Structure 1
Amino acid sequence: MCRSFKYHQKTKHRGVILIYIRQQCLFSFEELIKFQPETKLSMVFKTLDLSKVVGGLQKKSKSGPKGYDPENILRALLAKRLENIKYTKTLVERLKSDPVFRYTCGFPVASRIPSEATFSRFTKILSDKLGSLEAILEELVVRAKELGIIDGEHIAIDTSKLDSYDASVPRSRVIHDGEHPDWGSKKDTHGNQVRWFGWKIHLAVDTKSELPVAVNVTPASVNDGTMAVPLVEDIKQRYSGIINPKFYMMDMGYDFDHIYRTIHDRYNAQAIIPLNHRGAYASPEGLGWDGTPLCSMGYQMTYWGYDNGSFKFRCPHMTGKVNCPMGTNWCSSSNYGAVVKKKISDNPRYFTYPRRGTAEWQELYNERTSVERTFARLKENLGLNNITVRGIRKTKVHVLLSCIAFVAGTITVNTSKESERAA
């Protein structure tokens, strides 16, 4: 459909005059795209407020991408994760060849496309604004909580390896300043020892939604246990009064006294972690390997429930668990048998609620696998493994963008389903 004739062009072919009429389109591409079904990408971008990151960026940056709207570049970097585009080169080619994709990211259809170098410089700028990216993730998590997507009472914590884009170096040449990659080693889910050069991602995940709520990046040599409490503190500082975890699930690598004590004393929550005896030849004095008190004859006492803030243990002979040669009189003259009570505050590592060995404790611990599924989705579907940047700050940008894309995408899917059901 045309608005008017723009001009006539005459040519002569075999004595016949041919007239070509060039017409002006009634609608521009930008107007036509509005009649197309809304794309998944545009729906995700509607959930994001990027102003905190890009506000005033063009004015302050001298080496940045002059002539390009920084918000459009940031959208393109997020689209790279959401579309699982592996390389920046491929992203640039997609922007050039796909006008709908280009328009969705915010670039005018007839404009030039940022180069790979432009995206690289912009990533450097973002590495100086990590707090702003963290604020976007925080706002998305709060919104997911308000929508009922995130529950926030059960949190799983774990780490995952991330290979460095920097070339590996011998251990003797590693720079231990917290800014450079390092050699790491840990067992995978199958019990195999894995070594890599690069980084370690520390993640806290809501077990109901399997969405990340706190994240950090360190050199690969950093011990898992040293980063658990910082993640717990980060959740408390960012989401106080909004997300109040009751249980923190972690694997055996986090079995340290200070983690239990901090979570119990400071945050009034419970760490659910299997005991790691680390090659000990004997159990703690007066306790069994699982933290159960021992009677004077050395038998494990019988757990008899949780009563008024204390765990109750009874004589194993009286409860029929063992046939003690001394009977009950050795420990107590009561016909009820000897009783021992322990509070969680006595030793939060050994005395947990629910009690170790119970079905309730095991059910909570099984939720820990949610963090493994989160890592799998981030790596397989949201480009977390496709790292093409160097240095820990740029690596954090890379990780945060994947997490932001994950939470924003989940919110979009859930709100879209709610709208369909309401219709």
Structure 2
Amino acid sequence: MNNTQPTDFLQRWNAIQYDLIPELKEEVGCLTPKLEKLIHILEWVRIEEFIENTWFGVGRPPHDRGALANAFVAKVVLGLSTTVGLLERLQIDRALRRLCGFPMWKRLPTEATFSRAFAEFAQNRLAERVHEVLIKEHLGERLVGHISRDGTAIEAREKPAKKAEKVAQPAEKVAKRGRPKAGEVREPKTTRIGRQLTQTLPVMLDELPTDCDRGSKCNAQGYKNSWNGYKLHLDTADCGVPISALLTSASVHDSQTAVPLSLISASRVTNLYDLMDAAYCSDELRRHSQSLGHVPLIDHNPRGGEKKQFAPHEAQRYNERTQAERANGRLKDEFGGRFVRVQGSVKVMSHLMFGVLVLAADQLMRLMT
């Protein structure tokens, strides 16, 4: 499936390979393969164009936020787990310093400046906005065959948040247990998925818990793993590009993010099939997928009964869902998903989205070569 624009890509690739890289080699010396890859990634995402100027000539001018944003992208590409490691690399690597946009004659920003800048990027959802524009620009007008939906564990270095104490409710509002009496009419219980079908996207996102807590999830081999932290939910195209992402508490079930994720993905790309594992087995989710004009392929959860198998042609299409596991694996192994050193859902989401952004750009480049 051709999801990109070969002509624009070749022009960009030739300009970088035959003009920019030779000039940089003459100026700063040899460039490693990782640094050459960083050049292409920075050219694809162009994150500095999304930085807003917050200085109006009063007080000391802040450090260039565009260079700091490029540095956080470089941190992901180079596989650096801490900001201290990034600073040390910038101090000894003139080529990296030049690529990020830091002046060679100025002192580098301090670690505290990097931390404050990252907090600003997290609050402004910088990486999320750049990722959204990247997806719409390169895949927005293309037809995507399959969207694979899955959640993955994100371990964090923070204590689980304390659960708020339940407020005592009036006796008439407490849900009664047991079978109803003869002639008694009770209001039907509504699930979160049922409520989401009648809510707007901002309301759905506000209702999803995002505090750090403890969760458990069965891995591909059927063993249950437990962790403290969060859960990242990804929609991945069959070309391996992550389309949308959500961060929730670790205890949130995967199925409770299917509706908002599908709406976010539908606003960015047009796809035909929704592929989900047995955790998403629900008639409500199937109907919702069909309402978006998609064909749902959800693995059946027998729940103690007899398991329903896919038809042969459906089983063949369902094999495309391995793209979700590959995207999760690459995010953790190559782009910082295993090294979360920040605390709080906003900063954790920003850290992960820098990795998702680089993963998307890297996968788009792979499709071209």
Report TM bin, short chain. Answer: 0.7 to 0.9
- Out of 124, 127, 130, the residue aligned to residue 136 of structure 1 is 130
Q: Secondary structure at the match of 2:324?
A: helix
CA RMSD, Structure 1 to Structure 2 (Å): 2.9
Q: Secondary structure at the match of 2:230?
A: strand
Instruction: State the distance in 1 between where 2:331 and 2:354 align.
Output: 10
1:278 maps onto 2:303 in alignment: yes
1:114 maps onto 2:109 in alignment: yes
Instruction: State the distance in 2 between where 1:92 and 1:258 align.
Output: 49
Q: How does 1:353-372 map to 2 (within 5 A)?
A: 357-372=310-325
Match of 1:352 in 2: none
Q: After superposition, give the CA deviation of every residue in 1:314-354 in whole Å (9 maximum; x if it has no partner).
A: xxxxxxxxxxxxxxxxxxxxxxxxxxxxxxxxxxxxxxxxx
Structure 1 residues 153 and 83 mapped into 2: Cα distance closer, same or farther (>3 Å)?
Answer: same
User: 1:141 Cα shift?
Assistant: 1.6
Structure 1 residues 58 and 380 mapped into 2: Cα distance closer, same or farther (>3 Å)?
Answer: farther
- Out of 34, 49, 52, the residue aligned to residue 55 of structure 1 is 52
Normalised TM-score (structure 2): 0.75
CA contact 2:152–2:232 (8 Å) conserved in 1: yes
Q: How does 1:27-42 map to 2 (within 5 A)?
A: 32-33=26-27, 39-42=36-39
Match of 1:152 in 2: 144
Instruction: State the distance in 2 between where 1:81 and 1:145 align.
Output: 23
Gaps of at least 5 residues in structure 2 are 1-22, 166-206
- Out of 343, 356, 365, the residue aligned to residue 403 of structure 1 is 356
Match of 1:11 in 2: none
Structure 1 residues 202 and 30 mapped into 2: Cα distance closer, same or farther (>3 Å)?
Answer: closer
Identity of aligned residues (%): 25
Report how many aligned residue pairs link the two structures: 304
Normalised TM-score (structure 1): 0.66
Q: Secondary structure at the match of 2:271?
A: coil
Tell me: higher relative CO, structure 1 or 2? Use CA pairs within 8 A at least 6 residues apart: 2
CA contact 2:48–2:67 (8 Å) conserved in 1: no
Question: Which range moved further: 176-185 or 136-145?
Answer: 176-185
Whichever structure has more strand as a proportion of its residues is 1
Q: After superposition, give the CA deviation of every residue in 1:40-66 in whole Å (9 maximum; x if it has no partner).
A: 21222112232553122445999xx95
CA contact 2:217–2:226 (8 Å) conserved in 1: yes
Instruction: State the distance in 1 between where 2:310 and 2:363 align.
Output: 35
Q: After superposition, give the CA deviation of every residue in 1:254-293 in whole Å (9 maximum; x if it has no partner).
A: 00111101011x211111112112224xx7xxxxx63xxx
Instruction: State the distance in 1 between where 2:29 and 2:117 align.
Output: 33
Instruction: State the distance in 1 between where 2:297 and 2:132 align.
Output: 25
Q: Secondary structure at the match of 1:199?
A: strand
- Give the structure with higher Rg (CA): 1
Structure 1 residues 30 and 68 mapped into 2: Cα distance closer, same or farther (>3 Å)?
Answer: farther
Q: How does 1:36-115 map to 2 (within 5 A)?
A: 39-51=36-48, 53-59=50-56, 67-115=62-110
Gaps of at least 5 residues in structure 1 are 1-28, 284-288, 291-355, 418-423
1:251 maps onto 2:277 in alignment: yes
